[in-house]
Amino acid sequence: MLQAIGLTSAPRRGLPAAVDDLTFEARPGQVTALLGEPGSGKTAALRLMLELDSGRGVAYFRGRPMHRIPHPAREVGVLLGDVPGHPARTARGQLRMLGAAAGVPPARADELLELVGLAGLGGQRIGALSLGMDRRLALASALLGDPHTLVLDDPAEGLAPRESSWLHSLLRAHAARGGTVLYTTADPKEAARAADRVVTVDSGRLVADQGADDFSRTRLRPRVAVRTPHAARLAAVVSREARAARRSVEVVPEAGGRLAVYGSSCAEIGDLAFRHGLPVHQLADEVGDTRSTAPGDGAAPTEPGVPANSPGPPDSAGPEGRTGSRDPRPVARVSGLEPAPPIRRRPAPGPLHPLRYELRRLLGVRTTTMIMAAVLVVSVGLSVLLARIGHVPLPKVLAAWPSLLPLPPAAVGAGLLGALSFGDEFRYPALAAGRGTVPRRLGLLLAKMMVSAGVAVVLSGAVVLASAGALRLVYGPDWIDVPPNPFSLGVSWVALAVGCAWAGLLAAGVFRVTTAGVAAVLAVPVLVVPLVQLMLTAPGSRPVTGFPARLRELMWPRWPHETDRWVELALGVVAHPVGAALALSLSVLMLAYLLTGLQGRPRWRSQRAAGSGQGL
C-alpha cells in the first residue's frame, strides 16, 4: 500500500505551495489515478513521495518511507518523463546497464523487452524509437527490479488510443498480481475508464477521493456534440423547445461552432435542426466532463442542486470520507495536532554492481570504439612520418609523440574517454532520473577509475604494437631495435595514459561536463608542466638521489632491496616534468572531487536521522 500523508511542498518565493496538505492512499490490487489539470500539483506530489523535492509530510511504501528502503528499485518502479538514456545506446543495452545498477541479472532485460512488446527491437537505438516505443521502454525500466509499487507520471501522454489501451491493460495486470499502481493523468474519461480509484487534486489540494463508479456518476455525463455554422440559432431553438416541453436540457456553446447539449439525444437534435432548416456538420454522442467549463458559462449541473464543478457527494470526498483503517498518528498530523515531518531531498543511490554497470556504460555505445580506432589510425600515421623524418628517438616514434604536440594521441584519447565516463553520466543521467544530479559514491568512482585505467592500458599498448607493426611493414624488420630500458619506458608510457584518463575523469566529475575533463587533460602540458619545470630548475633545488635507501631505513618492517628499484622507478616517473604535473593535477582534482562529493553528506545524515525519528 502507498500512503501519502500531509504532503506539502516548499513554496517558492512569492508563489503558493504546489502541493498543500495532500493526503490519500493507493491500495494494492488496484490502479489509482491522480487526476488534475496541468499545474494542479500532480507531478510535484509524486516528487515529494519519492523524496526528489523538499517539503513536509511523509509517504509510506508498504509501511516504509523512501529513504528507509534498502533497494528502492526493487520496491518502487518510477517513470518520470522520457527514458534517461544515451540516444546511441540500444534498448537492450540500456536495460542491461540499468539492471547492473539495480542488481538484477542481465536476462531480466530480455524478459522485459518481451513483456512490453519490444522483443524484436532490442537492438534498436533509443534515439530512433517512436513515442510509443519510448514509453514501452520507460515502462520496462520501471519494471526492471520487479517492484511492488509503480509510480508513473502521465504515462499515456501523447500515445495513440491503441498504445494507451495496451498500457492500461499492463498496469491492470500488475495490479491483479497484488501490486500497487499510481499514475497521473489530466483526462477524466481516461481515469474513469482505466482506474479503480480516482484521486482528484486542484491547486495542490485534495478535491475528491472516489471509486471509479462514483467518479463517473458525479463527474462525467452523457451529452450530444453538435457542430453547425448556425450554432447560436440552434442553441436558441433547442432551449426554446426544452422550455416549452418543460424538460431539463442545457446547451453549452463551445469554440469552433460547436455545441454541447446535455439532457437530449442525437435523434431529437437532428429532427429539431431539420425542422428549422439548420445544417448540421457533426452530430455524435459523447461523455462530457462536468468541470470542463467554468461556472457561469452555461455548464450543465451534474445533479439537481449540485454545482457543475462539485467534486462529488460528501461521503466520497476528503480524508474523512475514505474507508479503511488508518494510523492514529498520521490522522493527528493531518488534523493539525502534530506537525508533518520534513521531507529532505535525498541523494541518488549508486549502482549495486558499479564495475558491471561501468563496463556496460562504456561498451554500450559506439563512441568508445570510434575514439580508439581514430587514436590508432592517427598514431600509426604519425609514427611512420616520424620514422621517415629521422633524428627522432625510437620511444617517441613508437608513441607517436612529435615535439610539436603537447601530448601523444593515445594520452589525449585516454583523457577523452575518461572525461566521457562522467560527462555522459551528467548529460544522460541514467542513475539519477528526475533528481538532476549523479551520485558521487566511492564505489562508482573506483569502478570508473579501474575501467578508465584498463582502457588506457589497452589503448597505449595497442598504439605501440600497431606502430611497431606499421614500421616493420614499411621500413623492414631490421629497423626497430629494443631500447636499453624497455621496462621503465613502458611503465612511464602506461602511467602517462592512465594519468590523463584519470585527470579527464575527475575534472568531468567535478565540473559535470565532458569539456572540463578534456580541458584538464590539455592543461597539464600547457599550464602545469611549465610551472613544474620552473620549480624543478629553480636555484637551490636539491635532487632526491638516494631517497629510496633513506626511506627504507625508516620503515619497519624493512622491505627487500628489490623494492628500491620500484621506488626509484616511481620517483623517476614523478620527477619527470610531465609526470610531476600529472601527479599534481590528479591530487588537486581528487581533493576537489572529494570536497564536492562529501559537501552535504554530514548534513544529510543528520537530517535523515531527524526525519526518521519524526516520520516513524
340 pLDDT band, cuts 50/70/90, is: confident
Distance CA 500, CA 35 (A): 52
Pick the closest to residue 30 from 188, 207, 194 (CA basis). 194
- Range of lowest pLDDT (29-38, 201-210, 430-439, 543-552): 543-552
Nearest Cα to Cα of residue 284 among 227, 355, 243: 227
User: Distance (Å, rounded) from C-alpha 80 to C-alpha 564?
Assistant: 57
Residue 449 · residue 502 · CB < 8 Å: yes
- Please say if the pLDDT value at position 515 is more than 70: yes
At residue 152, the pLDDT reads 96
Q: How confident is the model at residue 325 (pLDDT cuts 50, 70, 90)?
A: very low
The pLDDT, as a whole number, for residue 577 is 64
What's residue 48's pLDDT? 94
What grid cell was written down for 129?
524509437
More confident residue, 317 or 139: 139
Query: What dotted CATH number matches 218-301?
Result: 3.30.70.980
Please give the grid coordinates belonging to residue 504.
579527464
- Burial label for 572, CB within 10 Å (0-12, 13-18, 19+), is middle
Confidence of residue 599 (pLDDT cuts 50, 70, 90): low
- Cα–Cα dist 333/171, whole Å: 32
Predicted pLDDT at 615: 36
Q: What would the pLDDT profile of 205-234 be if each residue is shown by its tens digit?
A: 999 999 998 898 778 878 888 999 999 999
The confidence score (pLDDT) of residue 489 equals 82
Percent of the chain residues topping a pLDDT of 90 = 51
How much is the pLDDT for 287? Answer: 76
Q: What is the chain's alpha carbon radius of gyration, rounded to the nearest angstrom?
A: 34
Confidence of residue 546 (pLDDT cuts 50, 70, 90): low
pLDDT value for 438: 80
Higher pLDDT pick, 527 / 188: 188
Choose the weakest-confidence range: 87-96, 409-418, 583-592: 583-592
Q: Which residues of 511-533 are buried (b: 16+ CB within 10 A; e: fewer)?
A: bbbbebbbbbbbbbbeebbeebe
Give the DSSP H/E element, type plus range, for residue 577.
helix 577-597
2-205 and 218-301 agree in CATH topology: no
Confidence of residue 578 (pLDDT cuts 50, 70, 90): confident
pLDDT of 178 reads 95
Distances from the Cα of 501 to the Cαs of 55, 415, 422, 580, in angstroms?
40, 4, 11, 16
Q: Tens digit of pLDDT for each residue in 20-39?
A: 999 999 999 999 999 999 99
Indicate the range of 126-140, 460-474, 495-509, 588-602 predicted with least confidence: 588-602
pLDDT reading at 473 higher than 70: yes
What CATH number is given for 2-205 in this structure?
A: 3.40.50.300
Which band of pLDDT confidence, cut at 50, 70 and 90, is reported for residue 594? confident
Query: Domain coordinates of the chain in residue numbers?
Result: 2-205, 218-301, 354-525
pTM for this entry = 0.77
Range with lowest mean pLDDT among 45-54, 77-86, 563-572, 606-615: 606-615
Element (H, E) at 138: helix 131-142
d(CA 296, CA 586): 69
State the average pLDDT over residues 143-150.
95
Least confident segment among 12-21, 201-210, 303-312, 405-414: 303-312
pLDDT at 269 over 50: yes
Tell me, what's the pLDDT at 350? 86
Q: What is the DSSP secondary-structure string of 190-211?
A: HHHHH-SEEEEEETTEEEEEEE
Three-state secondary-structure class, residue 25: strand
Phi, psi of 555 (to 5 degrees): -85, 145
- What per-residue confidence (pLDDT) applies to 614? 36
Counts of helices then strands in the chain (DSSP H, E): 22, 14
Q: What is the pLDDT of residue 206?
A: 95
Cα four-point dihedral sign 97, 103, 107, 108: negative
- Which pLDDT band holds residue 449 (cuts at 50, 70, 90)? very high
What per-residue confidence (pLDDT) applies to 537?
61
| pLDDT number for residue 124 | 93
Range of lowest pLDDT (182-196, 215-229, 330-344, 402-416): 330-344
Average pLDDT, the chain: 82
